[in-house]
Amino acid sequence: MIDIIYLEEAVSQHAHAREVINRFPKATVIPCENYKEIFNPGGQNFRLQKNKPSLILAQKNGRFALPIPESYGIGGKHNFYFSHMLNCIYDCRYCFLQGMYPSAHYVLFINFEDFLADINAKSIQCVPEPSWFFSGYDCDSLALDQISNFVPSFLPYFKDNPLAHLELRTKSVNVQSILKHEPLANIITAFSFTPDELGKQIEKGVPTVSSRIKAMQKLTQAGWSVGLRFDPIIDCEDFDKRYSKLFQDIFSQIPTDKIHSVSLGAFRMPASFFKKMEKLHPEEKLFAGQLVNHQGTIGYKVEIEEQRKETCKDLLLRHIGKEKLFTCETTPESS
Amino acid sequence: MNFVCAFLPEAHPLIDELGLKKENSSTFTLYQKREHRLVVSGLGPEKIAHAVSFLHQLDSQPAVPWLNIGIAGHGSAEIGSAHLVVKCTDRKTQKSIYPPQLFSSLLPKTILETVEKPATDYKNGVAYDMEGYAFLKSASCHSSAELVQSVKVVSDNPDNPVSQFDKSTVHEMISSHLPSLVDLIDEMKALSHQILPSPEIELCFNKIFPCQSFTETQSHQLRKAIRQAIALGVPVNELESTSQDSKDSRSALQQINQLLDRKRLYP
């Protein structure tokens, strides 16, 4: 429930902003000049704001689609990410957003037309080669779709431009707006998972594994392809057993020909983010794990990370071909 | 929790409600009881900023909630109505502060404009005072932004201009909102408890630190180890005995970390 909406003057008359505001007739709308006045000031507490985030409606300026880190792709050559929103409705203890942003308020960039224009320009530069656009790095792509109208606004572009590919990364089961469309080969809904035993402890508000598998089933039965994202992999008790069960549960219910790609990545983040997260949640066991600082990036000790990733790869290759498996490497922050 | 009011009639209802007692203070009129402190700052931004600084010196702990309660003019709200400030603009600098709103308080929200002289050019939906911005700005230096709030009770509006304002009505005006104010105070205190550092860390540190000659760097490492021990559920008395049994500070930290390593795997 949103009680407070901050509204940037630049988008106050934008039809999209008015639509969003109309969904919350009881909310107090507060005008502001620039969303950064609310979002950026220091001295805010992300943990406290997670109790009741407000919504900020803003205009995105500058760069819209940006190149992704080199090892984060899923087979494409030209890869970009974009963020129509900042922050997420879920509260995952490992999430880097709490270390990166000073505020937990949701920022929704209203000017989708500018995002699409930039995506189009980047896509044209890549023709005749395909391009990939990743959504869901700085927010969950689908969780607030009823408010943001993201999917209905972006799908038509990708329908008309089959060389441009879109990944919608999510932990949500909110797939209704996708199911209203005919399946498109260039759109992948990529679901992130950790084993249920971990999710219950460190993924507050996230739908259960079984409900996400059901959402994937709905999509694949309608002809859509899906992606699987095991990132971050969390070192834990009964690691092999828990991850093996998770993979078994997924692959026993989702046909492998409908799985576009699977990616893996160990828990990792810039040391500056980690330091802030530790301060926000000093009581968190996860942050007291066997972690080390590799040149400015906090991650598991190399031998643990390698062993856990190898275990996951072995388990996954029992279900899929290696051409579908991608690994996100831990790279030093400075590189 | 700290309270700041510009003048005494604004403060009286809260002083009575919280049972605060007047303290001897040469700088500001101070009322206090247990964790509650209230100062009467006097009028104007400089005085309220000094009052905030004065209160902070009395209790410099992190995560202390701060509340400003006072009267204000308003462009459209009824006389006597109380409002939680969601945006405050300093008319002189045109800078704004947005106190984050995490409360279930049913108090209506208002934009506040802080002006140098009592306002007569009321705008619809906007409240006017002379201290709000200075309060929010200075108190935010000492606590998390979520824990710094301001409530304004409307004393004048276009139909009842400030020239007709009767100061003797202030007590009654603010008293009538005490239930809402107390609810807000309780919520602010509950919020601050979410981020208060665990006292167990310092208690344990104070027990272990004298056992060895820890260097400055080692004392930071010890605090971190204690914090992690608490997170991992390692009994802190085990840390204490480990430290006592170690031959020196370096060995103590090594032994403590080995103790923690056995518990570091996520459950």
Distance, CA of A22 to CA of A11 (rounded, Å): 14
- Residue entry with tokens 């190399």: A302
Contacting residues of A for B226, CB less than 8 Å apart: none
Contact between A285 and B266 using a beta-carbon 8 Å cutoff: yes
State how far the Cα of A83 lies from the Cα of A144, in Å rounded to an integer.
13
Instruction: Determine whether the interchain pair B195/A198 forms a contact, defined as Cβ–Cβ distance below 8 Å.
Output: no
**Residue A335: predicted pLDDT:** 37
Rounded to a whole number of angstroms, the CA Rg of chain B reads 24
Mean pLDDT, chain A, as a whole number? Answer: 95
CA angle A316, A321, A323 (to 5 degrees): 110
Q: Give this prediction's pTM.
A: 0.94
Q: A332 pLDDT band (50/70/90 cuts)?
A: low
A32 CB neighbours in chain B (<8 A) are 87, 96, 98
Do A290 and B267 count as a contact with CB atoms less than 8 A apart? Answer: no
Per-residue pLDDT tens digits for B22-71: 998 778 999 999 999 999 999 999 999 999 999 999 988 889 999 999 99
What is the SS3 assignment for A51-63?
Answer: CCCCEEEECCCCC
DSSP B167: G
What is the arithmetic mean of pLDDT over A81-89?
A: 97
Q: Å from B142 to nearest chain A CA? A: 9
- Measured distance CA(B144)–CA(A43) in Å, rounded: 5
Peptide bond into A128 cis (omega under 30): yes
Residues A101, A102, A104, A107: what is their CA dihedral angle, to the nearest 10 degrees?
-70
B38 three-class SS: strand
Among the partner-chain residues A52, A235, A288, the one whose CB lies closest to the CB of B232 is A288
Nearest C-alpha in A relative to B266: A236
Q: Distance (Å) from the C-alpha of residue B86 to the closest C-alpha of chain A?
A: 8
CA-to-CA distance for A23 and A147, rounded, in angstroms? 7
A·B CB contacts under 8 A: 96
Instruction: Please answer yes or no on whether A289 and B266 come within 8 Å at the CB atom.
Output: yes
Q: Which residues in chain B have Cβ-Cβ distances shorter than 8 Å to A290?
A: 261, 264-265
Confidence category of residue B121, pLDDT binned at 50, 70, 90: confident
* Average predicted confidence (pLDDT) for chain B: 94
CB < 8 Å to A29, chain B: none
Check whether the bond before A232 is cis (ω within 30° of 0). Answer: yes
In this structure, the strands spanning A28-32 and B36-40 are unpaired
Find the farthest-apart pair of alpha carbons in chain B and give their distance in angstroms, rounded: 79
**Which residues in chain B are contacts of A282 at CB distance < 8 A?**
197-198, 201, 227, 231
DSSP H or E run through B152: strand B148-156
Mark which residues 80-139 of B lie under 8 Å from A by CB.
86-87, 96, 98, 100-103, 109, 111
Q: At a CB cut-off of 8 Å and minimum separation 6, what does B260 contact?
A: A288, B225, B228, B229, B232, B234
The DSSP code for B59 is -
Which positions ≥6 away from A182 have C-beta within 8 Å? A223
- Judge contact between A313 and A264, C-beta under 8 A: yes
Assigned token pair, B56: 């902070």
Q: Shortest CB distance from A37 goes to which of B98, B198, B264?
A: B98
A35 neighbors A6 (Cβ within 8 angstroms): yes
For residue A333, what pLDDT band results from cuts at 50, 70 and 90? low
Position A99 scores a pLDDT of: 97
